[in-house]
Amino acid sequence: MIKHLTRTNMLTVILIIAALIVIFIVFHMFTKDKSVSDDYGVSAAHPLAVEVGMNVLEEGGNAVDAAVAVSYALSVVEPAGSGLGGGGAMVIASPHKEPVAYDYREVMPSTGELPEDNIGVPGFVKGMEEVHSDFGQMDREALIQPAIELAKNGISADQVLTERLESEESKLAVEELSPFFPKGEVIQPGEKVIQKELVDTLKIIQEEGASAFYEGELGKSIVDAVEGLSMEDFNNYSVQKHDAVHGELGGYNVYSAPPPLGGLTLIEMLQTAEAMDIEKARETPADFIHVLSEIATVSYQDRLRYIADMNFTNVPIQQLSSKEYAQEKGSAILFNQLSKVNMKNDDSEAGEDDHSDTTHFVIYDSDGMMVSVTNSLSHFFGSGQYVRGMFLNNQLKNFSKNPSSPNVAEAGKRPRSFMAPTILTKDEKPALGIGSPGGKRIPMVMAQVILRHLVFGESMQTAINQPRFYIEEGEIDIEEDFSDDIKEELTSRGYDWNSREAGSFFGGIQSLYVDHKNNRLTGGADLRRNGTWNAKSRRERE
């Protein structure tokens, strides 16, 4: 038909198409919220993961697309921290929409009996598929491909990977882990890590989706390797989707991961600090350490008392997140007096073993969507079991050993966790995404950084770089960078303290901060765990 059109008609068609394109562009320009930053960025604990996320954003993917790609990439480049054999949590916020939280953590099997090595039914693969189904724009296959390329072509081992392999060698089957123990020896920094088994597993998921994991050969391989898990457990696995828990700090709305995760504990700490006017401690570091330690002690005890899987217990979310409750708790804390509360912060086997290895990242896209994600195997390399290129979690150690706790192990239950992926909004737009690994230190470390940034006015990177502290059973661990004067002041106040080198013990904060007023995106990355971040403007891309 087209060949019979006259030249005049052809010109008319071309003009109409051109006009429609102009109308579309103008419509997009005038309907886009001008107060939303055009920048986009990624903050993560490995530069290759940041690169993967930035590439997805530059190819037209949104923040959730990039989060899926980064999650899979981190399973390759940070195998000690997260991966297909584990789980995690994600908070998603978009302009003028209520933030939502996804829990794709590991689950107790239907028998109610703890499986071998405390391995729970992994939720990672199902979680990635479900968030992508709800929010993603790019093809799922394309988002898994970068991880396949990294595993196939190899990555250079860094000092962090070498040290973690050395520390956990006793629980790993060295003879079955040639990618990490070439010739039976720990791989050294600069040597190439090629993970052929993981390549094959990723390709199966890429082609068949989550069904290959929860109904097919991948799940069967795990069930065959782990006594106490069944294909029924895999068939019945479901991702939990909830409203994020909510609090307020300094004019910002704070949204974090709901129970059994650590968001409520973080919110309680932040709001109690504000109720006590923590800004008074800005120029007196010993006061800041003392007051926040006292707040943490109270908040962590509330966690032990109340926080658990919401499908099994009624968690008083409204009470714990209320400003009135924060005021009540703060009124019992004094700036100049040490309390007599000397209790453990956790009552699980994971707490005793100090499970602290997870990975966190934050992504922001040029349409204003922000994603904050914490993925985990629970401990370094999880249980140490390695099946088809995946390290399997030992997340079920996070159940309480106290029989009267709401967090006792039960069939189909998710254990409690300190993970707290968090997003703060301002004027109904995402403004700050933040989170950290670090096990039981996560809420305490996050509170220190957030308060320094939003209350003390420090830049995000300065707040991240500041020395940190952690209190448990009346004893404070402090980073060695604290001055002798501060250490002496803590001693005079009755504290016992231990000085530690700055390192992974104190977490690894990753963050992105959006300055909507100046249309600028900045980030913060924690060198304690080789963190990095990158941000660009969409105007640069166009």
- pLDDT at position 2 over 60: no
How many CB atoms neighbour CB 153 within 10 A? 10
pLDDT at residue 539, rounded to an integer = 57
pLDDT at residue 23, rounded to an integer = 47
Helix (H) or strand (E) holding 69: helix 63-77
> DSSP readout, 488-527?
HHHHHTT-EEEEE-SSGGG---EEEEEETTTTEEEEEE-G
Average pLDDT of 154-182? 94
Helix (H) or strand (E) holding 499: strand 496-500
Helix (H) or strand (E) holding 270: helix 263-275
pLDDT at residue 25, rounded to an integer = 42
Backbone region of residue 112 per phi and psi (left: phi > 0; alpha: psi in -120 to 50; beta: other values): left
Backbone angles phi, psi at 5, to 5 degrees: -70, 145
User: pLDDT (tens digit, 9 = 90+) per residue, 89-123?
Assistant: 999 999 999 999 999 999 999 999 999 999 999 99
Active-site entry in 201, 358, 374, 422: 358
Of 493, 443, 458, residue with least CA distance to 289: 493
Range with the lowest mean pLDDT among 13-22, 370-379, 417-426?
A: 13-22
User: pLDDT (tens digit, 9 = 90+) per residue, 199-235?
Assistant: 999 999 999 999 999 999 999 999 999 999 999 999 9
Grade residue 31 by pLDDT with cuts at 50, 70 and 90. Answer: very low
How many angstroms separate the Cα of 79 from the Cα of each of 75, 95, 261, 409, 433?
Answer: 5, 34, 22, 27, 24
Of 524, 521, 533, 145, residue with least CA distance to 369: 521
How many angstroms separate the Cα of 223 from the Cα of each of 109, 112, 124, 234?
Answer: 11, 16, 16, 9
Backbone region of residue 314 per phi and psi (left: phi > 0; alpha: psi in -120 to 50; beta: other values): beta
Of 370, 367, 521, 528, residue with least CA distance to 441: 528
How many angstroms separate the Cα of 163 from the Cα of each of 93, 190, 283?
Answer: 36, 13, 37
CA–CA separation, 186 vs 170, rounded Å? Answer: 12
Strand partners, 435: 510
How many angstroms separate the Cα of 429 from the Cα of each of 3, 27, 33, 244?
Answer: 52, 21, 10, 15
User: pLDDT (tens digit, 9 = 90+) per residue, 286-320?
Assistant: 999 999 999 999 999 999 999 999 999 999 999 99
Q: Which two tokens stand for residue 352?
A: 């005793």
Q: Is 439 labelled a binding residue?
A: yes
Q: What is the pTM of this model?
A: 0.92
Contacts of 227 (CB under 8 A, 6+ apart): 115, 116
- pLDDT at position 3 over 90: no
Helix (H) or strand (E) holding 167: helix 159-168
pLDDT at residue 15, rounded to an integer = 62
How many CB atoms neighbour CB 534 within 10 A? 17
Average pLDDT of 156-175? 94
Range with the lowest mean pLDDT among 29-43, 62-76, 231-245?
A: 29-43
- The answer to whether 360 touches 88, Cβ cutoff 8 Å, is no
Of 49, 57, 65, residue with least CA distance to 143: 65
CA–CA separation, 102 vs 443, rounded Å? Answer: 19
Coil, strand, or helix at residue 540?
A: helix
Q: Is 265 a catalytic residue?
A: no
CA–CA separation, 434 vs 490, rounded Å? Answer: 29
- pLDDT at position 30 over 50: no
Average pLDDT of 130-142? 97
Pairing of strands 475-479, 496-500: parallel
Percent of the chain with pLDDT over 90: 80
